[in-house]
Structure 1
Amino acid sequence: MEYILGIDIGTGSTKGVAVDLQYKPIGSSQSFYPTTSSEPGYSEQNPLLIWEACCKVITEQINLRGRSPKIISLSCAMHSLIAVDSGGEAIIPMMTWADNRAANFADQLLSQGSGIEIYLKTGTPVHAMSPLCKIGWIRSHLPEVFSRTEKFISIKEYIWFKLFGVFEIDHSVASCTGLMELDSLCWYTAALNAAGIQEEQLSRLVSTAFYRAFPEAIPGMEAVTAGVPVVIGATDGCLANLGTGAIAPGIGALTIGTSGALRVSAECSRFNKEAMTFSYRLDEKIYINGGPVNNGGIALKWQLKNILGTSQLREEDYETAFRSVSNLGPGADGLLFLPYLQGERAPVWDARSCGVFFGLNLSHTSDHMTRAVIEGICFALEDVLNALERSGQQVDRIHVSGGFVASAVWLQILADITGKELVLISVDDASAIGATILAAKAIGLESDYPMPNIKEATRIYPDKQTHKKYMEIFEIYVALYPALKEQMHRLHKLSNNPSSAGLL
């Protein structure tokens, strides 16, 4: 059987998903790798382990199928940065999207006024996550590393160089760097100046449909037949829209994993300067506008492990938690949760914000707290949805994917809070499937992007009365952060100042 292999290079693992020529999954392999934090605010990975994971999942799928795929296509997580030498080897560990050490650089760029101009030209929020800010931090704090660096690249460029020996970057990954002008699809000189680099220190820009033939004798990938087209692909977020069929007007794509993001496709960029919603590229014609949140499934995991004391979380622990909150009404009997456990990105963009239970009293139980956490995650996504709609982006229906959305209870709460129809397309393979769809069009198997058949997909509809109740609660939710922001920052300063350690 002929098949296409989509490779999704994620933050926690790389997954290879094989689909038939109707884009139905026929098998998958997954390989995990660790994230380390050598200092507070650091989030680092060894890119060589990620390369080995790619080799492993590709080889496993070929061995299972008994033949090489018709096409291989790549998806990857956004905002990674690797400083490499001329041989493509990492000089320091890779900085992931969650690395926060460039927060001060981002604040300074925004305070100078040039930050907003760069945001409006590149579509990438000025934040510690962006490669622009990471490069600026390296230049200021690691000058020796900066001077030794031949190229600043993403994890996909690292894999691509391992395969083909050239530095090339697709327009989708480049659109998430804060360094590429969104409309012209060229490196943006003002952003490069802000980072302190030249265009020669970045990879050559290519289309997301660009491909090369798999070379002879790549160690670790001997199973791949030479000549198989390898499509460079796009980012995981943009490809999740494609994989869930959310590239038509009015259809949003929501991914909830450890973090979360809501995205809508459009023919042009749309900005909300106050909320710094992003605008990225799927290809030369399609923009993906949206907003990310830091705290998705990780907040519920924190509640179950750290608060309820479940040491080893299993699937049944989540099922028990959802059953326990299903009998509680909207608002958890007056308990709200601001889910900023890892700081927050859209719409507040505040790394110094923190989580808050609000309204806690003696009548509340652990079940109330769990429901408040779930509702808090959904309120955060509603906050992003409102920001998108205020920018003129219409959202009538939301296609949902991600490993933390299998619960009917969670989905109903999300539908009731957003007031939107939800369509559950795929549990956790949307980006890899999107990569296979993009690849089919890239090499001419399709004249346009084929859309998934959603007639049999699970649909969840909001309850109008419950939505009305939630909107009253949401007014309180959105008022909490502005009211507490100053005190959050004071507490953050105290807790991160060694001389104040004894005060807390």
Structure 2
Amino acid sequence: MQTLLGLDLGTTGVKAALFAVEDGHVVADAFYEYPLFHPHPGWAEQNPQDWWQATLAAIRSCLEKAEKQGVKPADVKGLGLSGQMHGVVLLDEADQVLRPCIIWADQRSEAQCQWMTERVGASKLIEYVSNPALTGFTAPKLLWVRDNEPALFARARTLLLPKDYIRYLLTGVKAMEISDAAGTCLLDVKHGVWSQEVLKAIELDPAILPPVVPADAASGSINAEVAHLTGLPVGVPVAGGGADNACGAVGNGVVVPGLALVSVGTSGIVLSYAETPQVDTSGPVPRVHTFNHAAPDAWYLMGVTQGAGLSMRWLRDNIGLPERALERWTGGDAYDYLAQEAAGVPAGSEGLIFLPYLQGERTPHLDAYARGGWIGLTASHDRRHLIRSVMEGVAFSLKDCFSIIQEQGLRLEQVRATGGGAKSPLWRQIIADILGVELVVTNASEGPAFGAALLAGVAAGVYPSVQVACEKTVRVLEKTEPDQNVASAYQQAYETYRALYPALKPIISRPGAF
């Protein structure tokens, strides 16, 4: 059996998954966690060495599980990388890591965002890199290091993104893959090259940036040391791979016009395939991101809601289940129980609206100080209404993203759902009803790792193209049609939802408001 290995370097841990070339089914997988550090409020860092040790362990475990099924390491034809975007890994002259990685969730670089925007010019920055400077992106974090740790920065010789650091250790090759490079705020997204205009404006030496490589081509191969540490054969080609959302799109077959992806994880996204690098020009700052796709010569538009599954987890942890329910509930999954309670409430939660801004909001507000809450609470509401309103509030936020993408003129014929929240039939139905489109679920249970493996298959010559790889392996398993009987109720509720942020912004959306 020929197989492909996908690695997904996430925020909580790394997933290694082995897939059959023939039909994409999962042969074996393994997941290893690593810590996340918050040295100060708003900071988020990880140790790249923790990633590496977890990666080695995950690969070894995955291969050992596969061997028990008669699938040998020699059967691995390619390896693909996916990973969290926007991190800053700095290497010195000896290629040693200089400091912990400042990851995507870090918010310390607001001053650098403002300086970068003023230095380049707000409109010029959009012209050059198709996106504004945001605290989540790589460039402002790098500037923070330069401003606050100048001696350390002076020793820096190479900037890598998280998964690209793992590539370096696997292969000895320093490179940055295009869909991940698009999230640095340093890449000319339209042409796939580093923006010399931006680099000159912010006085950043281009020598610190590695070459940009394609997602679906071999960028190196497994070296002898890694082969000894993992059990992989020497010479296995390692594909460029992709950013986590780009690989998630590949894994769900969102690689042709007309398809979009809705992901409900800790955060939520709406991502649509685009044949051209379209940029939202409806205001001074684009409300959705424009990034290079992992599929060649393609792009995607993406809106992000910060608190999707996060809102449900907060509800579970802080409001939770009544004691009597816990005593009799043996299903094992508290989320299933919460969904059962929510199912008894009519669409619109009888006037209760939830704003899911528990970590600020990105699309459409780009407001780190946005705050969440319930509006419309009355004595007639109970915990069931709280639960359903959270599900609906997240779906309304996704509709904000979806509507902006629709405004760009993209044809959205089918939306594919992924992520932990998409496993809930009720939540899928709510999202389908609020978006007004058919939602489908595919066999891509491993998400980004599957997409990374398919990219490896193209790089290894197993598949002739990304599109063919998806045609051969991605299958639709379930469909959820919107219920026209609730369309009117949701339209009214959504209009109320949209009116709440601008009404509340002067009161709560400012530093120190609470």
Class of the TM-score when normalised by the shorter of the 2 chains: over 0.9
Distance 1:142 1:426, change over 3 A: farther
Which residue type is aligned with residue 40 of structure 2? E
Does the residue aligned with 1:40 lie in a helix, a strand or coil? Answer: coil
Which residue type is aligned with residue 43 of structure 1? A
Assess if the C-alpha contact under 8 Å between 1:58 and 1:221 holds in 2: no
Report how far residue 482 of structure 1 moved.
Answer: 1.3
Q: Which piece of structure 1 moves more, 402-411 or 99-108?
A: 99-108
Distance 1:17 1:339 in 2: 32
Percent sequence identity is 28
Which residue type is aligned with residue 32 of structure 1? E
Report how far residue 212 of structure 1 moved.
Answer: 1.6
Number of the residue aligned with 2:8: 8
Does the residue aligned with 1:217 lie in a helix, a strand or coil? Answer: helix
Give the one of 294, 311, 314 matched to 1:299: 311
Q: Which piece of structure 1 moves more, 271-280 or 328-337?
A: 271-280
Assess if the C-alpha contact under 8 Å between 1:125 and 1:277 holds in 2: no
Unpaired runs of 5+ in structure 2?
none
Q: How do 1:62-211 residues align onto structure 2 when only pairs under 5 Å count?
A: 62-66=63-67, 67-68=72-73, 69-110=76-117, 114-208=121-215, 209-211=217-219
Report how far residue 213 of structure 1 moved.
Answer: 2.2
Q: List 4+ stretches of structure 1 deviating above 6 A.
A: 309-314
Number of the residue aligned with 2:320: 308
Distance 1:159 1:113, change over 3 A: closer
Give the one of 393, 398, 405 matched to 2:415: 398
TM-score, with length taken from structure 1: 0.93
Distance 1:455 1:99 in 2: 36
Distance 2:474 2:139 in 1: 39
Assess if the C-alpha contact under 8 Å between 1:308 and 1:366 holds in 2: no
Number of the residue aligned with 1:461: 481
Assess if the C-alpha contact under 8 Å between 1:91 and 1:149 holds in 2: yes
Distance 2:470 2:173 in 1: 33
Distance 2:485 2:210 in 1: 53
Distance 1:28 1:184, change over 3 A: same
Number of the residue aligned with 1:477: 497
Report how far residue 211 of structure 1 moved.
Answer: 2.8
Does the residue aligned with 2:241 lie in a helix, a strand or coil? Answer: strand
Does the residue aligned with 2:470 lie in a helix, a strand or coil? Answer: coil
Matched, 1:225 2:233: yes
Which residue type is aligned with residue 444 of structure 1? G
Give the one of 251, 255, 261 matched to 1:243: 251
Which residue type is aligned with residue 296 of structure 1? A
Q: How do 1:427-442 residues align onto structure 2 when only pairs under 5 Å count?
A: 428-442=445-459
Does the residue aligned with 2:104 lie in a helix, a strand or coil? Answer: coil
Report how far residue 396 of structure 1 moved.
Answer: 2.1
Assess if the C-alpha contact under 8 Å between 1:246 and 1:265 holds in 2: yes
Does the residue aligned with 2:364 lie in a helix, a strand or coil? Answer: coil
Q: Which piece of structure 1 moves more, 469-478 or 451-460?
A: 451-460
Assess if the C-alpha contact under 8 Å between 1:240 and 1:434 holds in 2: yes
Distance 2:320 2:155 in 1: 48
Does the residue aligned with 1:484 lie in a helix, a strand or coil? Answer: helix
Report how far residue 436 of structure 1 moved.
Answer: 1.6
For CA contacts below 8 A with separation 6 or more, give which structure has more relative contact order. 2
Which residue type is aligned with residue 81 of structure 1? V
Number of the residue aligned with 2:363: 346
Distance 1:315 1:141, change over 3 A: farther
Q: Which piece of structure 1 moves more, 204-213 or 416-425?
A: 204-213
Report how far residue 17 of structure 1 moved.
Answer: 1.2
Number of the residue aligned with 2:379: 362
Which residue type is aligned with residue 20 of structure 2? D
Q: Which piece of structure 1 moves more, 82-91 or 122-131?
A: 82-91
